[in-house]
A and B are shown apart, each in its own frame.
Chain A
Amino acid sequence: MSHLDLLTFARGSALNWALMLCVAGVVLRLFEIFGLGRKADLAKPRAARPGSGWRTMVTRSLPPEGMLKHDPVTYIGGYVFHLGLLVTIFFFAPHIEFIRSMTGLSWPGLPAALVDALAVAAMAALGTLLAHRLNNLVKRMLSGIGDYLAWTVTLLPLLTGYLAYHHLLLEYTLMLALHLFSIELLLVLLPFTKLFHTFSLFISRWYNGDLFARKGVAS
């Protein structure tokens, strides 16, 4: 099997299955979460704070007072990583073309050099956050295999994409195929690991904000 054959497989059957498993898994998990339901809250709300859920989605995305100074690595590292990852996924022209082919939506891309720099920043942030996780006793105790798995499958697409773009380590076609395989691994694992926070994050923040508002501690 030549490298191009491998790439064709990665772009074809392998990608089809990964996309289908990801979509089916995400829909399944959302049904599962919403289907759990909650008991009706019969108590009278403490304060009428409409929009508290939406506000919490924003406020919980910002560091609480004093926390940035208290734990700068976690906050700054987290921001740099997520920003770098989002720009790399959504503003690199070949990626936009992928999204356009699946959804019909498209937008202008950013220069490759800028995306490249942000991808490097995202990878550096991931490395720093891992080191911090391992060196911080509390974080290390809280971490399980799922966290390290999520870290690995998030890093791999960034790393293989970077190596492919710069023609490093392996021949380009082979590295591009590996890049696609790493994305497919991420897609398959996303619904069933902590990576599902991609979808559940803002849902849970809205829910918490709304619930707390009823109890009088709205954002």
Chain B
Amino acid sequence: MKQAEQLDNLPGTVGEGLTQRGISRREFLKFCSSLTALLALPPSMASAMAEAISKARRQSVIWLSFQECTGCTESITRSHSPTLENLIFDLISLDYHHTLQAASAEAAEHAREQAMKDNAGKYLLIVDGSVPLGNPGFSTIAGISNHDMLVETAKGAAAIVAVGTCAAYGGIPKAGPNPTGAVAVGDIIKDKPIINVPGCPPIPVVMTGVLVHFLTFGSIPELDELGRPKSFYGETIHDRCYRRPFYDQGKFAQSFDDEAARQGWCLFKLGCKGPVTYNACATTKWNDGTSFPIQSGHGCIGCSEPNFWDAGPLYKALSVPASATSEMLGAAAAVGAAAGVAITWHNRSTKAAANTAHEKVTVQELTQEKK
């Protein structure tokens, strides 16, 4: 009864909810302006966005966590614009999320089923973590395997957001030898629009930004060939890195604590994977725009790329062979030398045989008249 009363008191649209909470239109427009900047939209879109969001009903969101470390949830709780609180109280109805919801056990599962029933075909499904196919028992929730829960919940979803590299591409659980047979959401669900928001974890405002885009436009943003929103994953870390001029000048740190590192020189030689990593870390940054890994002195490990964990040593430069060794080349030289000796022996034998077979012609034979 009490729960029913609470539901009745919930605002119908986002605009009504904002009015109830005493948020002025000016404040809301300011919020929308920051969102348009975040999504790389023209400033004129701010008012259109405000209009769209205020008229929209709070979006039902179901968040499923599979083989993951909760790092993605930890990350999204640190979103600053919009904050997760903004999202939950103003824009979305987070109907199911293991870590954040108060309900547990059967009540929690009931909340998921209820949300799926009430918002069939309309709810947004967010998934973090990979799905193990090796054995259904490797990862279960309320006795339901990750695979079955994903397939069941995806059926009525309007779209799916695969949050984190594990959900987007398999991530660390999929790293060789992939003991659980981990796969990405996109390997299982083929008939729904999927937005990949990779990163280990993804940047908080990138996650919230993607959600806001869906809420505003009711559609998924423009994606690249790996299913990532181009507005956040359109450029490499390297190209937007504040240390890039040092790379161009040939100035590199040789170790993490040398003078060059203290001067902020490029970390390429220390294994930075920024040149092949598409993400917004260098521009959006983390912790309310405070810093990002390279700024704090560590190279990028390429965590938003598929199979980054198996893409060669983390602390070796990209231009360095992933596994070649001088011992290996020494062995190759020995093989070459042995083959060279064999060929030399063969050549000399041929030459000696030709010398032996050669019949000398005498002057007498040359001057002898034909009979």
Interface residues of A (CB under 8 A from B): 2-5, 7-8, 11-13, 15-16, 19-21, 23-32, 35-37, 93-95, 97-98, 101-103, 108-113, 167, 172-173, 176
Check B336 for interface membership: any CB of A closer than 8 A: yes
Check B276 for interface membership: any CB of A closer than 8 A: yes
**CB pair A24 B339 closer than 8 Å:** yes
Check B100 for interface membership: any CB of A closer than 8 A: no
A97-B269, A98-B321 given; A111·B305 CB < 8 A = no
**CB pair B332 A28 closer than 8 Å:** no
8 A-B contact pairs sorted by A residue (CB < 8 Å): A15-B324, A27-B332, A31-B343, A31-B344, A35-B341, A93-B268, A94-B268, A172-B236
Q: Which residues of A contact B322 (CB under 8 A)?
A: 8, 11-12, 15
Interface residues of B (CB under 8 A from A): 169, 226, 236, 239, 247-250, 252, 268-269, 275-276, 302, 305-308, 310-312, 316-324, 326, 328-329, 331-333, 335-337, 339-341, 343-344, 347-348
> Nearest chain-A residue to B331 (Cβ)?
A20
**CB pair B312 A12 closer than 8 Å:** yes
In the bound assembly, the distance between CA atoms of A193 and B324 in angstroms comes to 24
Q: Which residues of A contact B321 (CB under 8 A)?
A: 11-12, 15-16, 19, 98, 101-102
**CB pair A108 B250 closer than 8 Å:** yes
Q: Which residues of B contact A5 (CB under 8 A)?
A: 306-307, 311
In the bound assembly, the distance between CA atoms of A93 and B266 in angstroms comes to 11
**CB pair A27 B326 closer than 8 Å:** no
In the bound assembly, the distance between CA atoms of A102 and B306 in angstroms comes to 28
Q: In the complex, how many angstroms separate the beta carbon of B259 from the nearest chain A beta carbon?
A: 15
Contact with B248, one of A27, A36, A113 (Cβ below 8 angstroms): A113
Q: A108-B250, A110-B250, A111-B250 are in contact. List 12 more A-B contacts (CB 8 A).
A: A2-B307, A11-B321, A24-B339, A25-B336, A35-B344, A36-B344, A36-B347, A93-B250, A98-B317, A98-B319, A109-B250, A172-B276
The residue in B239, B322, B335, B337 that gathers the most chain A C-beta atoms within 10 A of its C-beta is B322
> Nearest chain-B residue to A12 (Cβ)?
B322
In the bound assembly, the distance between CA atoms of A29 and B332 in angstroms comes to 13
> Nearest chain-B residue to A108 (Cβ)?
B250
Q: In the complex, how many angstroms separate the beta carbon of B302 from the nearest chain A beta carbon?
A: 7
**CB pair A102 B329 closer than 8 Å:** yes
Q: In the complex, how many angstroms separate the beta carbon of B171 from the nearest chain A beta carbon?
A: 13
**CB pair B324 A16 closer than 8 Å:** yes
> Nearest chain-B residue to A23 (Cβ)?
B332
A19-B332, A97-B269 given; A35·B347 CB < 8 A = yes
A93-B252, A172-B275 given; A7·B311 CB < 8 A = yes
Q: Which residues of B contact A173 (CB under 8 A)?
A: 276, 305
In the bound assembly, the distance between CA atoms of A167 and B238 in angstroms comes to 12
**CB pair B326 A102 closer than 8 Å:** yes
> Nearest chain-B residue to A5 (Cβ)?
B307
